[in-house]
């Protein structure tokens, strides 16, 4: 099986498996009205998906050092199908939170194990580019989810996209089951299921913290962008000519080429230099993007799309960087740690964003500005960690 076919197969399965990813975010204003949710409660449900991911990913990804990642992937995709379709039974805060947590556990067993299955079947220069396409497909799956959720909900209510997302996950399972051959696992020395060896590497820890801050910013944007567009229309007293779900879909789609191109630029100019530059640029944009609600709609749209580019331009490069610095014998454990810390940020981002809106007011421009600006401020911890790790590595070379 050649590299291109493996990459296409796993990217397609990933995209289909994420059809239910943005169901809650895409219809957030509707769910807040339907269930009487506060912004903090909405933040909990939006972040609950990543809470499930965060809790499960150390175990599920760590298992790929013992078992073929394909096996973990298949079982987790079945859970994704059940959790996505099961959301139709949600009736309020607690039941919605439960189904989203289960869906997050499903993603924990498919996203990084899928990456592991990809990286261990492709060698050489093709590996970094395959990882870039796989990572970027996360954005494509998110965009598909926003589109399906927003458009199908107008046809048959929010239950229709929930059911369809479950069907898409089953199709993804079938693609991998019949399209990806099993691969024997290389035998390593016995180790604990929760392998702590990656904690000894400063470079791995730096990438983990940077990924956490990247995800905090990225998923706060994806969780609250639809609501931000709705607020912008209300603030200006106009009906936006592009719906919130379409803006979110465009912002997510633009992240795919941004992520791939970002990895190419990182290979050309140096990974650390690129990551520090693009993350600091994104932090500066975050400090002003919330004020876009007071500007003409087309200006706000341009600002949001530009911000979406900077938010995602570091994504593939961060993941490829982690794979490059992690020892082959502990790569699954390193990916588990990377994913766990990264999606801790993904859980906290939507929640902190919602809490900020509750404190300062979701009908106030100040609230939206502060929520976005807080994400940018926290993001700066990422480039700081990468810079410090680089200084330590540089110093060790001169000893």
Name the residue ranges covered by the structural domains of the chain. 3-179, 197-393
Token digits of residue 221 = 């944007």
The pLDDT of residue 95: 96
pLDDT value of residue 399: 42
Q: Are 352 and 47 in contact (CB under 8 A)?
A: no
- What spatial distance separates the first Cα and last Cα of the chain, rounded to whole Å? 45
- The per-residue pLDDT for 319 is 84
CA distances, 112 to each of 276, 302, 344 (Å)? 24, 32, 15
Cα 218 from Cα 214, distance rounded (Å) = 6
How far is it, in rounded angstroms, from Cα 95 to Cα 307?
33
Distances (CA, A) of 334 to 21, 66, 207, 354, 393: 25, 14, 10, 31, 18
CATH superfamily of 3-179: MFS general substrate transporter like domains (1.20.1250.20)
User: Can you tell me the distance from the alpha carbon of 264 to that of 130, in angstroms, rounded to the nearest whole number?
Assistant: 12
Nearest to 389 by CA among 322, 339, 343: 322
Distance CA 95, CA 164 (A): 20
In sequence order, which ranges of 18-125 are alpha helices (DSSP H)?
Answer: 23-26, 28-35, 39-62, 69-86, 93-108, 111-119
pLDDT value at position 328?
67
CATH topology identical between 3-179 and 197-393 = yes
pLDDT of residue 125: 64
Are 13 and 109 contacting, i.e. CB atoms less than 8 angstroms apart? Answer: no
166, 81 Cβ separation under 8 angstroms: yes
Are the CB atoms for 26 and 230 separated by under 8 Å? no
Given this model, what pLDDT does residue 213 score? 96
Distance, CA of 149 to CA of 253 (rounded, Å): 15
Q: Which residues of 322-342 are buried (b: 16+ CB within 10 A; e: fewer)?
A: bbebbeeebbbbbbbbbbbbb
Query: pLDDT at position 193, please?
Result: 52
Query: In the chain, what's the furthest Cα-to-Cα distance?
Result: 66
List the one residue out of 248, 378, 375, 368 whose CA is nearest residue 308. 248
Q: Using CA atoms, how far apart are residues 49 and 46, in angstroms rounded to an integer?
A: 6
pTM: 0.78
User: How many CB atoms are closer than 10 A to CB 183?
Assistant: 12
Give every residue of the chain whose pLDDT is below 70, as ranges.
1, 124-125, 185-200, 328-330, 392-399
The pLDDT score that the predictor gives to residue 304 is 95
According to DSSP, residue 194 is labeled S
Exposure of 210 in the CB half-sphere (CA atoms within 13 A): 36
CATH class (in words) of the domain with range 197-393 = mainly alpha
CA atoms within 13 A on the CB side of 367: 20
């Amino acid at each position: 099986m050649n590299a291109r076919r493996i990459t296409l197969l796993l990217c397609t399965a990933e995209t289909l498996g994420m059809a239910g990813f943005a169901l809650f975010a895409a219809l957030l204003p509707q769910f807040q009205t339907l269930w009487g949710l506060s912004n903090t409660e909405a933040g909990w449900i939006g972040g609950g998906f990543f809470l499930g991911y965060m809790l499960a990913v150390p175990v599920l990804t760590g298992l790929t050092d013992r078992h073929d990642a394909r096996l973990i992937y298949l079982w987790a995709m079945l859970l994704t199908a059940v959790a996505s379709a099961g959301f139709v039974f949600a009736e309020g805060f607690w039941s919605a939170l439960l189904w989203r947590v289960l869906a997050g556990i499903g993603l924990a067993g498919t996203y990084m194990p899928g990456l592991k299955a990809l990286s261990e079947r492709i060698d050489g220069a093709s590996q970094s580019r395959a990882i870039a396409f796989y990572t970027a497909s996360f954005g494509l799956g998110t965009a598909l989810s926003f589109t399906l959720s927003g458009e199908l909900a107008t046809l048959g209510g929010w239950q229709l996209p929930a059911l369809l997302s479950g069907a898409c996950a089953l199709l993804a399972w079938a693609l991998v089951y019949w399209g990806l051959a099993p691969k024997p696992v290389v035998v390593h020395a016995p180790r604990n299921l929760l392998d702590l060896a990656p904690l000894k590497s400063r470079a791995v820890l730096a990438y983990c913290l940077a990924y956490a801050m990247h995800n905090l910013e990225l998923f706060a944007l994806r969780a609250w962008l639809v609501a931000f567009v709705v607020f912008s229309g209300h603030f200006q007293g106009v009906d936006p000519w592009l719906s919130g779900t379409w803006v979110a879909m465009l912002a997510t789609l633009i992240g795919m080429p941004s992520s791939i191109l970002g990895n190419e630029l990182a290979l050309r100019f140096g990974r650390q230099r690129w990551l520090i530059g693009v993350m600091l640029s994104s932090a500066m944009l975050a400090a002003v993007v919330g004020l876009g609600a007071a500007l003409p709609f087309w200006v706000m749209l341009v600002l949001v799309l530009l911000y979406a580019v900077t938010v995602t331009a570091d994504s593939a490069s961060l993941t490829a960087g982690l794979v490059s610095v992690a020892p082959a014998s502990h790569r699954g454990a390193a990916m588990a740690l990377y994913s766990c810390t990264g999606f801790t940020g993904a859980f906290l981002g939507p929640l902190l964003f919602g809490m900020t809106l509750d404190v300062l007011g979701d009908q106030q421009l100040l609230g939206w500005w502060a929520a976005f600006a807080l994400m940018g401020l926290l993001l700066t911890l990422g480039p700081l960690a990468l810079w410090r790790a680089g200084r330590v590595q540089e110093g060790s070379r001169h000893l």
